[in-house]
Amino acid sequence: MEFSLTENQKMLKKITREFAEEYLVPVAQESDEKSKLKIKKLIS
């Protein structure tokens, strides 16, 4: 049984990580600092 990721799965993992680092992490950090989660800012 093969458990390693396919090339497509590796590409999706990379793109997802880049998206999260660019768009989600900054909002999460700001929310942590202010103790508030801004859902509208996450989805806009």
pLDDT in tens, 1-33: 889 999 999 999 999 999 999 988 888 887 777
C-alpha atoms less than 13 angstroms from C-alpha of 33 in its C-beta half-sphere: 6
Q: So what's the pLDDT on residue 16?
A: 98
Q: pTM score, two decimals?
A: 0.64
CB atoms within 10 A of CB 31: 15
pLDDT at 38 over 80: no
Largest CA distance in the chain: 47
Judged on CB neighbours under 10 Å (0-12, 13-18, 19+), 28 is middle
The counts of H helices and E strands in the chain are 3, 0
Q: So what's the pLDDT on residue 37?
A: 63
The whole-number average pLDDT for the span 39-44 is 66
